[in-house]
Structure 1
Amino acid sequence: MPPQSPPVTTEILVLGGGIIGVTAATYLAEAGRKVMVIDRSGICEETSSGNAGALAFADILPLAQKGMLRKVPGWLADPLGPLAIPPAYFPKLLPWLMRFLLAARPAQFETAVSAQAQLMKLAQREWQILLSRASLTHMLREDGALELYDSEAEFTASSVVDEVRRRFEVPFLTLRSGEIAELQPGLSDRFRFATFLPGWKTVADPRQLGQAIWTYAESAGANFSPANVTEVKLNGGMISVRTADGRTFLAQKLIIAAGAWSHRFTRVFGDPIPLETERGYNTTLPPGAFDVRRQLTFPSHGFVVTPLATGVRVGGAVELGGLRRQPNFARSQAMLSKAAAFLPGLKIEGGRQWMGYRPSLPDSLPVIDRSRHSPNVFYAFGHGHLGLTQAAATARLIRDLVLEQDLPLDTEPFKASRFKR
């Protein structure tokens, strides 16, 4: 046998090269810490590459809320609708679904929406600061977003969302047909009602943004190693990480930011987390497919249309199907067909289909915490479809936890221990 290479040592090891891991590594490298990120694919090459590109600071409602729950039976009746659960996966998903239903109870709902609103305010501040420090403000688009409703009943039902937004001072405007056309020409005339969210932002391209932030992190001293992690364990006072190619990494501190795979590692440290996988689908059409002025969201249909520097992205929906099932790209096609009806003249040729794994927790809140049993291990995952939006806030909190500094908000709602109560 060839001699085994000596372990690679670092102060802080980050598992996961998605936008959460990248921003956490950036904040720590800026603070002068020696940081290394490990990921099997690269920097922002998986779920963080194909998201809708939104900084959705107005999206403060958890998925488990009455307005959403009323829609679930109808959505499940359509295998290509906004929500799908493969029948064979349902038994495995049942415990998570029970927690999801319990999260809609008034007390749990109020806790979640309040925590989400605080995290969003922090995210908005931290993103502005980070993009300025990294000289990347040119990648931010501040055009707002349109929520479009094709029936008066759906628009009336959205008043529940509006009330929550008023309580937490999230700005929005109610629009009618003529006003909608001014903000987005070329829409189908079926949309007679809309909500405009002026604080909603998008980025030029989520993959390009993540990689640009990483370039900035490298300039601050952060390092990256491509590797598929097979084992994580405590080794004396250190964390030992083994990879598929036989290498060993030793670190003083570990940050688990591995998205939908994170719960596999937290179990090692005594924290079983009920993490599930929202499989999201999209199609990115070539630039010029349609003159989309700002992100368009279709709440009753479960998808969005986003103008990116790299094209027009049509995607969304939720398929709760785990990590092993093959993609069902008929879901991408179904959303594209609807988009073509909603945006007459949309050129649907030449698109690239994609499927990614969103890490989803029953109460729609991420885990941002220190391990109870291993104080040199930290958790940063479970953001669902809000990973890009909340990345900078999560990085700020993780940095302050690691460096034992004062926190800018109460992290009690984001603790891993909440699932044992």
Structure 2
Amino acid sequence: MVKTNQADVVIVGAGIIGLSAAFRLQEAGRSVTLIDKTGIARGTSFGNAAAFAFSDVLPMAAKGMIGKVPGWLMDPLGPLSIPPAYFVKIMPWLVRFWRAGWRDKRDASIAAQVALMELARSEMAALTQAAGTAHMVRSEGSLELYESEAEFSDSLSDWAVREANGIGFEHVRGARLADLQPGLAARFVAGTFVPQWQTVSEPYEFASALGAAVLAKGATLLTETVSSVKPGDNGIIVALGNGETMLARQVVIACGAWSKNLVAGLGDSVPLDTERGYNTTLPAGAFPLQRQLIFGGHGFVVTPLDNGIRIGGAVELGGLELPPNYARADAMLKKAASFMPGLKTDGGKQWMGFRPSLPDSLPVIGRSTASPDIVYAFGHGHLGLTQSAATARLVADLISDKAPAIDITPFAADRF
């Protein structure tokens, strides 16, 4: 006999998105059950780049990437790679990605991203205060670096878009550049400093602290897989991998790269694919890093953490099944050593995570077409940590039948 348990709100996924939504729903007086196959923050939230990238409002397809793709694909260890075994499968996603770079789609995506980022900034400040994690936020800014005058000039149109949307920055050279980050290689001719960029002291610890706050407020955590979610006569039926079911009043699907199959079972076809991100975390003292450094031309960042220095990023469109290719992490580490002379590269720990990405760089946030009591919150790509608090606010609004804080039409599951 199948055992059925009752629940108020079930959240599928206990990463930073699900945890943030849980905290906000608890504040609204709701009882929350979190279900995750690996537990709290063991997926992408475990090893991300630790940034609140509130100024990152341009879609990937609009950052001059389309023109660079052919050259990048020639380098299997470059900023963008697609394993040959996955190329045919990813083609529909790539076509949509190409379309997302057209002016009409680009402008619409930027407008939506700006609205979500403005909400993210205010909601994150409120959430960290309420959850007791504000002390884990660093406000050192970021520094994007350019190896040539041509690379710097190519970036100016993107910075003009940010300036038009109220984002502050400072282009720097010479002594000012050296002051912001001593010890860089002489190859860097200029940089752009973004003072409002923030990072967290360590992303897994940050998410774990939020998870602890959620559990302390009475949430239930089930470490289990979810095989399906579907509307029932008396609520939403959540089928678990162990054969049991949950009957929930409402459900939030926030399981990142694993959300696609669940929502497909609800009749929503979403072109979600997976960017496999790699990094190496070096021990503390590996380099006197002052703030997050962004090597945009090479697709990776270097981040100061409480427990060391994290070097990671790049994009490998390879899905969930192919084995990791840690040569990509090695390649980034080698580049970082040439960009930061004196970097101690011994003793690093490698990691790979799955970024749930959509072609237009916008997440899916909204109600399922199958039932208004099923809410989607996934597909944030590189920006899950950044947009987690904003997404939580929107989820709480939807679950509580309130008007969302911003227009969520651009984030609809059926927009493609």
TM-score by length of 2: 0.98
Aligned to 1:193: 190
Please state how far the C-alpha of 1:233 moved relative to its aligned partner: 2.6
Alignment match of 2:265 (pick from 248, 262, 268): 268
Find the counterpart in structure 2 of residue 244 from structure 1: 241
Q: Write the mapping of 1:42-61 to structure 2, written as runs, cut at 5 A.
A: 42-61=39-58
What is the letter of the counterpart of residue 41 of structure 1?
Answer: T
Match of 1:350 in 2: 347
Give ranges in structure 2 of 5+ residues lacking alignment. none
Aligned counterpart in structure 2 of residue 415 of structure 1, from 398, 412, 415: 412
Output aligned runs, 1:211-222, within 5 Å: 211-222=208-219
Deviations 1:37-91 (CA, angstroms, capped at 9, x unpaired): 1001111111111100000001000011161212111111110000001112111
In structure 2, what is the equivalent of residue 157 of structure 1?
154
Equivalent position to 1:360, from 357, 360, 372: 357
Look up the equivalent residue of 1:241 and give its one-letter code: V
Q: Secondary structure at the match of 1:349?
A: coil
Contact (CA 8 Å) 1:177, 1:191: kept in 2 or not?
no
1:177 and 2:174 equivalent? yes
Contact 1:30 1:220 (8 Å CA) reproduced: no
Which position in structure 2 is the counterpart of 1:89?
A: 86
Aligned ranges 1:17-166 → 2 under 5 Å: 17-65=14-62, 67-166=64-163
Partners of 1:341 and 1:74 in 2: CA distance: 22
Give the distance between the partners of 1:45 and 1:211, measured in 2 at CA: 9
Decide which of 402, 406, 412 is 2:403's aligned counterpart. 406
The Cα of 1:219 is off from its aligned counterpart by: 2.6
Distance in 2 (alpha carbons) for counterparts of 1:57 and 1:127: 10
- Asked if residue 371 in structure 1 is aligned to residue 359 in structure 2, the reply is no
Report the Cα distance in structure 2 between the residues aligned to 1:308 and 1:317, rounded to whole angstroms: 19
Shift of 1:231: 2.8
Deviation (angstroms), 1:270: 1.2
Q: Deviations over 1:354-402 (max 9, x none)?
A: 0000000010000000012311100000000100000000000000011
Would you identify which runs of 4 or more consecutive aligned residues in structure 1 move more than 3 Å? none
- Contact 2:269–2:414 (8 Å) recurs in 1: no
Q: Give the equivalent residue in structure 2 for 1:295.
A: 292
CA RMSD of aligned residues (A): 1.1
Q: Name the residue aligned to 2:222.
A: 225
Q: Which amino acid aligns with 2:187?
A: R
Alpha-carbon shift at residue 316 of structure 1 (Å): 0.1
**AA at the equivalent of 1:380:** A
Percent identity, aligned pairs only, is: 53
- Aligned-residue offset at 1:223: 1.7
Q: What is the CA–CA distance in structure 2 between the aligned matches of 1:372 and 1:245, rounded to whole Å?
A: 27
Question: Following TM superposition, by how much is the alpha carbon of 1:5 offset from its aligned partner in structure 2, in angstroms?
Answer: 6.7
Q: Is the 8 A contact 2:229 2:266 kept in 1?
A: no
Task: Measure, in 1, the Cα distance between the counterparts of 2:228 and 2:191.
Answer: 49
Aligned twin of 1:253: 250
Aligned-partner Cα distance in 1 for 2:4–2:346? 50
The answer to whether the 8 A contact 2:79-2:298 is kept is yes
Q: Which amino acid in structure 1 is aligned with residue 310 of structure 2?
A: R
The alpha-carbon deviation at position 230 of structure 1 amounts to: 2.1
Number of the residue aligned with 1:322: 319
Q: Partner amino acid for 2:374?
A: V
Query: Which whole-Å deviations, capped at 9, do the CAs of 1:127-163 have from their partners, x for residues lacking one?
Result: 0001111121110000000000111111110011111
Q: CA deviation at 1:240?
A: 1.7
Aligned mates of 1:170, 1:57 — CA distance in 2: 9
Structure 1 CA distance for aligned equivalents of residues 387 and 27 of structure 2:
19
Give the total of aligned pairs.
416
Kept in 2, the 8 Å contact 1:26–1:222? The answer is: no
* Alignment gaps of 5+ in structure 1: none
CA distance in 2, matches of 1:60, 1:177: 28
In structure 2, distance between residues paired with 1:20 and 1:66:
26
Q: Which residue in 1 is equivalent to 2:378?
A: 381
- TM-score normalised per structure 1: 0.97
TM-aligned CA deviation for residue 319 of structure 1: 0.2
Q: In structure 2, how many angstroms separate the alpha carbons of the residues matched to 1:128 and 1:415?
A: 26
Deviation, 1:247, is: 2.4
The 1-side partners of 2:43 and 2:264 are apart by 23
Out of 337-346 and 214-223, give the one that drifted further.
Answer: 214-223
In structure 2, the residue corresponding to 1:416 is in which secondary structure?
A: coil
AA partner of residue 191 (structure 2): A
- The answer (yes or no) to whether the contact 2:35–2:222 under 8 Å persists in 1 is yes
